[in-house]
A and B are shown apart, each in its own frame.
Chain A
Amino acid sequence: MRAGPLHIRALHIKKYTEEHELVNFDDATGVGIVSITDHAQSVLGDVVFVELPTVGTTFNQGDQIGAVESVKAASDIYAPVSGTIEAINENLSGEPGLLNKSAEDKGWLCKIKLSDPAELDKLLTWEDYKKTYVE
């Protein structure tokens, strides 16, 4: 039996992919904020260009939704969950360096309205994600 009332449930769930995306899911709205992880930005180096999906587009989990470009390389971004793009971070077009300064906060990429929140269960926890790159 549940110990407490509904409103003290964890409202935000952070889950990770092996491709270094992070989705910060808000249980109340059903919307997840997608970022690349701070680890990913440090590996990429200076980000100079970010390509984001169009608002209103629907993607399946694992579809390519954009790309992050540094001088070194282009890195594809995949949808960590299925859903519809509700918003994109317009600031990144003028200031792609936000991704290096604040990858998981101000440098967020897009907001997805999840079509199947159960998909979150398939993603990695922080501990499991960290194990993918720390020996």
Chain B
Amino acid sequence: MVPFAGYSMPLSYGDVGQVASHNHVRKSVGIFDVGHMVQSNFRGKTAVNFLEWLTPSSLSSLKPYASTLSVLLNEKGGIIDDTIVTKHASDAFYVVTNAGRRERDLAWFKEKLAEWNASETGKNGPVEHEVLENWGLLALQGPEAASYLQGLTSFDLSQLTFGNSAFVPIEGFNLHVARGGYTGEDGFEISIPPSQTLEVARLLTKSPVQLIGLGARDSLRLEAGMCLYGNDMDETTTPVEAGLSWVIGKERKEAGGFIGAEAVQQQLKDGPSRRRIGLVVEGAPARQGAKIFSPNKDELGIVTSGIPSPTLGKNIAMGYVKSGWHKKGTEVQVEVRKQLRKGVLTPMPFIKPNYWRG
């Protein structure tokens, strides 16, 4: 057990090792208890406009029950948090944010909501924010996730494609199920009211489902090329630097109108000074903090996450390098224990994702 965002969480369950857990998710199905994450509802006539002010996403054009990865930005365009925003209707959104950013995010929501509701637009349709305290969140992940869940519901899951959500009847419970996750595999994130978490967890943890801890969660997400807030991005990182320009709505890149827009638009125009990249490193695994150098030993940047990949049998890492050094195939050197090791810039995700797109 390790302390994590105010919770005590298992790195692994029982004596199942991290690699065995990791492989089980890639080959079969595992479940993650991510109930520590912060689930919120935003409701009100101008909810869509409010969230388009807080994030650079095009939420107006998002279809009902569709989700998108997004970012909360500060005035300088720095990432306060990354988040998944699900639109139920233009006046109802379900938002999941990181547990490690709980205090910062909730204070930010409160401050910005007060500002919004005092403005002309806000007065016409105030927005309410509700935190779903003590709700459960279970992520069922892996190529056998769909067949397992299908065994518990009459809802045709083949109709629920990657990035979409639905209320699904599961053995008498009516639960919000989002297709997606943090592993690169097909899967579902299931939101559960406080009184039902235990019973639903029991339903979802029968064979072949295995409980998966934080250790494998990290190696799975890294293979999938996904960022961990605090490692791979923080408030000094912009979405352009983080390779997340795609979360910015096409028309919003021009029109702006979101917090941090000026800085982001400037970077989109001039290009960022550094960029998030993927690396494959020879010999020793490069981990967070390892410096990246050019073949001439000029310092280029730093590794922000790195592991020996259980799936690929290679050392993978992500990090930031100076623009110009960010192209795939570029050879660099990475310092591990005072020795320079060869690294090659490699596109992410490192593994081929296995999403259900119908």
Contact = CB atoms under 8 A, between A and B. Distances in A.
Nearest to B286: A74
A49 B295 CA distance: 24
A49 B306 CA distance: 14
Interface in A19-72: 45-46, 48-49, 51, 64, 67, 69-72
Contacts of B219: 71
A49 B19 contact: no
A49 B18 CA distance: 15
A46 B18 contact: yes
Contacts of B285: 48-49, 69, 74
Given A45-B17, A45-B19, A71 B307 contact: yes
B18 A45 contact: yes
B284 A71 contact: no
A57 B138 CA distance: 52
A110 to B, nearest CB: 16
Nearest to A69: B285
A71 B284 CA distance: 11
Interface residues of B, number: 17
What's the interface size class on A, roughly? Answer: 10 to 19
A64 B338 CA distance: 11
Q: Which of A45, A71, A76 has the most CB of B within 10 A?
A: A71
Contacts of B284: 49, 51, 67, 69, 74
B337 interface: yes
Interface string B1-27: 000000000011000011100100000
B310 interface: yes
A46 B337 contact: no
A69 B19 contact: no
B218 to A, nearest CB: 9
Contacts of A71: 18-19, 22, 215, 219, 307-308, 310
Contacts of A64: 337
A43 B12 CA distance: 11
A28 to B, nearest CB: 34
B287 interface: yes
Given A67-B284, A71-B18, A74-B287, A51 B11 contact: no
Nearest to B315: A49
Interface in B308-341: 308, 310, 315, 337
B34 to A, nearest CB: 19
Given A45-B19, A48-B285, 10 more contacts: A45-B17, A45-B18, A45-B215, A46-B310, A49-B283, A49-B308, A67-B337, A71-B310, A74-B284, A76-B337
